[in-house]
Every structure is written in structure tokens, then in C-alpha cells.
Amino acid sequence: MTLNPLARNNRPLIFHPRSQLSMGVCVSMRWMWIICLALVGLNTGGLRADDGYRAWLRYDPLDQVSQRQAWTSVVTGLVCREDDPSVKVALAELQMGFSGLLGIDPSVRPEVSGSGGVLIGTIDGNPEIAVRLRPEDADQIGSEGYVVRTYSNGNGKPLVMIAARSGVGVLYGAFELLRQVQTGVYPHGLDKVDQPKIGLRMLNHWDNLNRTVERGYAGFSLWEWFELPDYVSPRYHDYARLSASVGINATVLTNVNANAVILTEAYLEKVATLADVFRPYGIRVFLTARFSAPMEIGGLETADPLDPGVAAWWQAKVEEIYRHVPDFGGFLVKANSEGQPGPQDYGRSHADGANMLADALAPHGGSVMWRAFVYAAEIEMDRAMQAYAEFQPLDGTFRPNVFIQIKNGAIDFMPTEPFHPLFGAMPKTRQTLELQITQEYLGASIHLAYLAPMWKNCLDADTRVAGEGTTVAKVIAGSDADDGYLPGAIAGVANTGSNRNWTGHPMAAANWYAFGRLAWNPDLSSESVAEEWVRMTFSNDAHVVTPIREMLMESHPAVVDYMMPLGLHHIMAWDHHYGPGPWIDEGRPDWTAVYYHRANADGIGFDRTVSGSGAVSQYHPDVAGIFGDVDACPERYLLWFHHLPWNHPMASGNDLWDEMCLRYQRGVDTVGSWLEVWAGLESSIDAQQHNHVLRLLTRQERESRWWRDACLSYFQAFSKRPLPEGVGAPGHDLEYYRNLRLRYVPGTPSEQ
Ligand code: GCW
């Protein structure tokens, strides 16, 4: 079999990011490689121009000569005899990767020979693989996992094998092998057997059909709906490659604030084209379903889920979708939330609505992701308690193909939030953890905030619901055990857009990367994931890896410090959510800031203990005991659960007011310290990337002071206390900060 990925139509441009050269003009890989090496050797920074398009799949020549030689002597060819579409893209990726990393153009041959090489394929598709596997391997790789192992090939020439049960497992194995090479590993002794811990690993795009992206900060939507289905942008392939490289296996193309037009025939043809591109990469397409679609595009008088005509309409619609997309994943639904239509419009329950759609999808193998993000201003109950109150009693009433999709916390993707009490509290229902990769409340694509540590706080949180160790990660992963949780899913609201570098902030790509890696294995540490990303994106040089990894690790705590320390939440500006707005007190109460911080002359914080709103009682008693006890409550959630006097003594020895001020200052100082660190990397990082990040960090430092000054000026009016020593004085009075008005912040729905 010959497979030349460079000759395919619509091939991504990814291999030549430095220029706009298409694959067609890439005649001599060897020459290009030599030129690349020369440029790296010159190391003048200015000569190189990396626009970030390749993200972490850069495949630049390995800088360690001994490592390059070691791999070059192993990759003497690619051994593959399968025609499976996923195996083919794996092969193409390996060719592309090795061409770039090693400067070789390995040929493909059908059989293992004495000269070593990389053997790639499925267990059933190639007997040469089956004979090499260890008996225990097959049990450890499931349907999507892989074995990546180096064997001695008898005559001293090592053979690397990538084996899996499925084509997509082979693809994941290929990406794993390339990751190993990219991060500085040598071939000798390589032995990795792995499979994902969570079955469904999804991106959720909040992309509108006019290509604006709700809370999207990296340009317009990736999906060029008007050009589709005729023109198929090469970016779709590269999106799929990048996503598959971290194990993402599903994507919801459209905004949860849904438009029924996506379900019309003309759009389904476009969706089918995207699904065709994504399929070989193991990515299934889902769509958002607007609950009132039967009325809006179906001409029905009602969307009542118990109306047989409505159910029949959805059934027919689903059949139509499957004619276009045979492996369609299903629907994601935001119903009766923030003005979206839903079953409650007809006096029906969330289960009635979800089950009606689930019944339509079940015969085709599709699922419903039904969001639990519901709250209403008319309800007196603490907003943090409303989703639990609505959904928990419905446990056991949902069809097996319904997943309840729950945000990591009970309010809304705040900079820090305790885990949502629904996790583990619905043992008869599949649950999806929804994280936000896009930085709606964390500085959009302007501020550096590496989110893995925040996500880990949720994934590792011990719900205790089924005994100690019942972490959120375990709940959503589920198990086959009879008394175990049903396998669930994980979803991340995407931070990608039409910007050349995908995510706006060059460092925000780390969040796309980390989401996938943690979805694959929530047990990975944030730090190890950060390190992988830095190595793949920038360099294996310790002088680059260590400082950038440290910056990443410091970033989320720093942003929390200068925005909303000690469990403060929802004190951001109205509507666009970008800057500070602790003074917001108009409009529906649960959209104000004062509802949440409750600052007054006595103190600050939301009392959610049993003597307050009682929200702690929605957790397992052990957890409620911790959160509800002011002395046991982790400080990062203190004001989430407690209203405390300004002079409340803190662990540091400071009182609450001083501690709060010092946290704001600490955040500012941390960002300030990065400016120096980053400046020191100038000669080691591509000039374009370096300058872009430098500009953003400079703005972040300025805006961290804006947050500090605006919030402390506001809270000081209640505390009536001076700023402690070491805390910078605000440059303006409170009125100035209150009157600052930002216009046209990207991603703001009211301005789109
Ligand atoms: O965080 C809020 C956002 C809305 C979003 C909503 C949701 C898609 O401000 O823009 O709408 O959450 O998650 O549904």
C-alpha cells in the first residue's frame, strides 16, 4: 500500500505554517528540513515566524541530536497493511510528524522486515500485531486504547509497534508515539498501554449560524456555513487532528442557545460534510436541539413533549438526520434556562422533554445531553440550589440514553467554584461534567489562565456519596459494576475560533490541550500536562520548559487572586463579564453582583450554611460538614459558604479585610513577575509568539491592577479600613471605575 498524505486534496496546510505554502509545492522534504534546521541553528528569533497555527503539533526538527539519531535509526519505514480510514490518517500523521521531527520521509511497506520500523495496525487486521501482543494487553486497551511499545527485532534493529482494537485506537496510539518523540523521549524501552477513562469526551461549540461565537474570543466560528457543503476548509481537518491528538471523540457544532435552522435539510447537508471530515479522526457530531423546533421549522402548533404529533415530528427529524449522518451522536439541549424554550412551557418536566428526544434517538444509537443549568429569578431559593432541587428528584426517570450535563459548579463557571452537589447524587442517571475552556469569567483570550488546576479541583473533589473516594471523575467515568455509576461523559465549551492560532491567546491552546488530556485521563496532574504542552509547543530546552510551566501553574491562582479571591463570585461587569463590577445591583437579582458578595458594614460573603440559604445541605453530610464549618472550609471557598466579619481571623494571622487586600495584591504581583520571566525567553521563543504573549501579559498586568483597584475601592466603602501595607493604592476613585464602560467585547450575545 502506498499512502502519500502530501498528495491528498484538501490536505491541511499545517505542515508549512511559516508560510502559506500548500502541500503541492512541498517537493523536497529533505531540503525543507535542512532549511528549517539552518533557521533553528541561527536562532535569531527574528528569522522565524510561527503564527501558532500548528499549535502543539508543530513537528519542528528535534533539537537534541542524539534523540533525533536514535529515532531515525528506528523509523526505517512504516509497516501497515490496513485500509481503515482511521489507520490511514494515523499513517499520514506519522509520515507528517516524522518528516518534520526527523527530516525523513519513511516509506510504507506491508510487512515487517529485518530493518525495524514502525508497525501500525489493529489486532484483527494484522497477524504480525496479534503475535507480538502480550496476553494482558488486550484487556487493557478497550475499544479506543492502544499499545505503543518498542521491541527488539532479533537482529538489533528495534521495532516500534502501535496496536489497537480499532482504527481510532491506532490513531490515538500514533499521536501518543508522536507526543513521546516531541517531548524528548528515546525509543528504547518505550512501553505504553493506555485507554481513556471517560467514554465520551466532547467539545461544545457555542457557535451561531451567523458565525458569531457566544463567549468566543478567538474570532468567528470555525464552521463556514455559507461555504459548506461545497467548500471544505482545510482547517476542519486540522481541528480534527488537534482534537483527536488529545482524545476528543465528539463535538457539538452549535450553540446551546439554539437555532432550529440547523435541523433543516439544507443545513443537515452541511453538517454531513463536517461529519465526513471528522469521522476518520474518531469524532462524532452532535447538534443542539431547540425545543420549539417543531413549531419554528415544522409548522406544528405546539412543542409539548407529550403530544404524539410532536414526538412523531422529532422521530422523523431524527431519521432524516441519520440519513445524512449515519453515526450522528445526538442532541445537546438547553431547556427552560435563560429564556430557552422547554417542556416546562407545557407544564411537563425535564424528564418528559429529555425522554421524548431520547426515544427518537435510541433506535439509531444516539443520546441526549440534557443540561442541568437551570435557575429562575422568580424562585426565592438561592440560585446555587435550584438545579439540584429541580433535577435530583428526577433520578431514575430518565431513559438510559439521557445524560444530565452539569456545570462544574452550581452557579456558572466562576473563577473558583466548589463542585456541583448534583455529582453523584443521581446514581440511576448518566452524568456529564461540563467545563468551560473558553475564558468567559477568566479574562477572555487576553489573560493567561491555565485552567487544568481548576478542573482538577472539580474532578478530584470527593463527593463521598458512595463512600470515601467517590470523586467527580469516578462518578462521570462510571463503571461496569452493578452498583457502580453509569458511564457518563465530559464536555468542554470550546475556546477555538477563526483566529489563525485557533485560540486567540497563544497560551490558551494549553487549555484545549489540557481539556482533552484530562478527559482522557483525569488522574494526570495539571503540571505534567502543562509540561507536555510546553515541550510540544515551544521547546524541550529546560530553560524554556521550566519557566513557562511555572507560569502556567501560577496563572489560575493568580487570576483568582486579582479577580475573586477567597470564594467571592459573580462580581464581574454586566453582560460582557470581562472586567470588575462588584457594584452591579440592578436588573434581575440573580444577575447582580450584590446578590452574591453581600458586602455590608458587618462583613462579606454568602451564608450558605444551614443557618443561611442551606445550600451546604445538598452535599453529602461529610462534605456539608466541611464546607459548612468556617474553620474547616477551604479558604478558596470561604466567602462562597460564609458571611464573615471584616475582622474574621484567617489562617495567615491576618484578618479577613487585610487578607483579601493582600490576595488581590498577590495576584497583581504574580502577573508582574511574569513580565520579567517572559522577557528572559526572548531569544528562545519564536519572535512572533514571543511578542504576542508579551503584549498580552503587559495588558494583563495593567488589568489585574484594574480589578484590584476597582474591587478594593468598592469593598472599602463597607469595611471602612485602610489598605494594608504593600497593597498598591488605586489610581482613581470608585466613581471612575464604576463609569468605565467597555463596548463590543467579543462573544457578548447582546452585541452580536
Ligand atoms: O455562562 C452563561 C453565559 C451564557 C451561556 C450560559 C449557558 C450559552 O453567560 O452566555 O449561554 O451560561 O451556559 O447556557
pLDDT digits (tens, 9 = 90+) for 296-311: 999 999 999 999 999 9
Positive or negative, the CA dihedral 10, 15, 18, 19 is negative
What is the mean pLDDT of the segment spanning 201-207?
A: 98
Q: pLDDT value at position 8?
A: 30
Helix axes 85-102, 167-182, angle to 10 degrees: 10
Q: Encode pLDDT of 550-596 as tens digits.
A: 999 999 999 999 999 999 999 999 999 999 999 999 999 999 999 99
Q: Give the cell for residue 7.
A: 498528495
C-alpha to C-alpha distances, 526 to 43, 580, 584, 673, nearest whole angstrom: 30, 28, 34, 21
- Of the pLDDT bands very low, low, confident and very high (cuts 50, 70, 90), residue 149 is very high
- Assess whether the previous peptide bond of 645 is cis (omega < 30° from 0): no
| Angstrom distance (rounded) from CA 573 to CA 302 | 38
- In short, whether 412's Cβ falls inside 6 Å of ligand 1 is yes
What's the burial of 167, exposed, middle or buried (CB within 10 Å: 0-12/13-18/19+)?
buried
Cell matching residue 742: 467597555
Of the residues 252, 259, 413, 440, which should be mutated to test ligand 1's pocket, given the most ligand atoms within 8 Å of the CB? 440
Q: How many residues does the chain have?
A: 752
Amino acid at 314: W
> For the segment 601-610, what is each residue's pLDDT rounded down to a tens digit?
999 999 999 9
The angle formed by the CA atoms of residues 285, 323 and 293, to the nearest 5 degrees, is 70
Residue 215 Cα: closest atom of ligand 1: 10
For residue 47, what pLDDT band results from cuts at 50, 70 and 90?
A: very low
Q: Give the residue among 130, 113, 25, 579 at the shortest CA–CA distance from 121.
A: 130
Residue closest to 657 by CA, chosen among 606, 608, 703, 711: 711
103 dihedral zone (left: phi>0; alpha: psi -120 to 50; beta): left
Structure confidence at residue 1 as a pLDDT band (50, 70, 90): very low
Report, as an integer, the average pLDDT of 403-420.
Answer: 98
> Is 455 a pocket residue for ligand 1 (Cβ < 6 Å)?
no
Which position among 417, 440, 554, 701 bears the catalytic label? 440
pLDDT recorded at residue 482: 80
The Cα–Cα gap between 568 and 593 comes to: 10
Cα Rg, the chain, nearest whole Å: 26
Please state, rounded to an integer, the average pLDDT across all residues of the chain.
93
**Pocket flag, ligand 1, residue 413 (CB < 6 Å):** yes
Q: For residue 1, give the amino acid letter.
A: M
The β-bridge partners of 429 are none
pLDDT of the residue at 17: 33
Closest CA to 440 of 208, 212, 664, 213: 213
CA 577 to ligand 1: nearest atom? 9
Ligand 1 in reach of 375 Cβ (< 6 A): no
Question: Is the beta carbon of 257 within 6 A of some atom in ligand 1?
Answer: yes
Could you tell me which of 731, 698, 739, 699 has the C-alpha nearest to residue 712? 731
Please state the rounded mean pLDDT for residues 120-141.
94
Catalytic entry in 207, 304, 390, 412: 412
Mean pLDDT of 374-400: 97
Query: Is residue 122 scored above 80 in pLDDT?
Result: yes
Q: Where residue 141 falls among pLDDT bands split at 50, 70, 90? A: very high
Q: How confident is the model at residue 37 (pLDDT cuts 50, 70, 90)?
A: very low
pLDDT at residue number 36: 43
Question: What does the block give as the cell for 124?
Answer: 484483527
Mean pLDDT of 382-403: 98
* Residue 374: pLDDT over 90: yes
**Ligand 1 centre distance from Cα of residue 682 (Å):** 38
Q: Ligand 1 pocket check: which of 207, 290, 412 to mutate, most ligand atoms within 8 Å of Cβ?
A: 412
Among 4-8, 157-161, 338-342, name the one with the lowest average pLDDT: 4-8
Q: What are the tens digits of pLDDT across the range 225-255?
A: 999 999 999 999 999 999 999 999 999 999 9
The predicted structure's pLDDT at residue 114: 79
Question: Which pLDDT band holds residue 358 (cuts at 50, 70, 90)?
Answer: very high
634 DSSP 8-state letter: -
Q: Please choose, from the candidates 316, 330, 315, the residue with its C-alpha nearest in 3D space to the C-alpha of residue 271.
A: 330
Whole-angstrom distance, CA of residue 675 vs CA of residue 704:
13
Which of 20-24, 317-321, 361-365, 542-546 has the lowest average pLDDT? 20-24
Q: Please give the span between the terminal C-alpha atoms of the chain, in angstroms, as a whole number.
A: 50
How do the residues of the chain divide into helix, strand and coil, expressed in percent and rounded to 5?
45, 10, 45
Quick check: 10 pLDDT over 70?
Answer: no
417 lines ligand 1 (CB under 6 A): no
Separation of alpha carbons 387 and 390, rounded Å: 5
Q: Which residue has the higher pLDDT, 18 or 288?
A: 288
The reply to whether 265 belongs to the active site is no
pLDDT of residue 519 exceeding 80, the answer is yes
Of 111, 191, 227, 338, which one is the catalytic site residue?
338
Half-sphere exposure of 80 (CA within 13 A, CB side): 33
What is residue 453's predicted lDDT score, i.e. its pLDDT?
98
59 alpha carbon – ligand 1 mean position (Å): 36
Helices marked H in 14-148: 29-42, 65-74, 85-102, 127-132, 137-140
Q: How confident is the model at residue 483, as a pLDDT?
A: 81
Residue nearest atom 11 in ligand 1 by C-alpha distance? 257
Query: Given a cut of 80, is residue 32 above it in pLDDT?
Result: no
Q: Calculate mean pLDDT across residues 40-68.
A: 78
As to burial, measured by CB atoms within 10 angstroms (0-12 exposed, 13-18 middle, 19+ buried), residue 379 is middle
For the chain, give the percent of residues with pLDDT over 70: 93
> 440 catalytic, yes or no?
yes
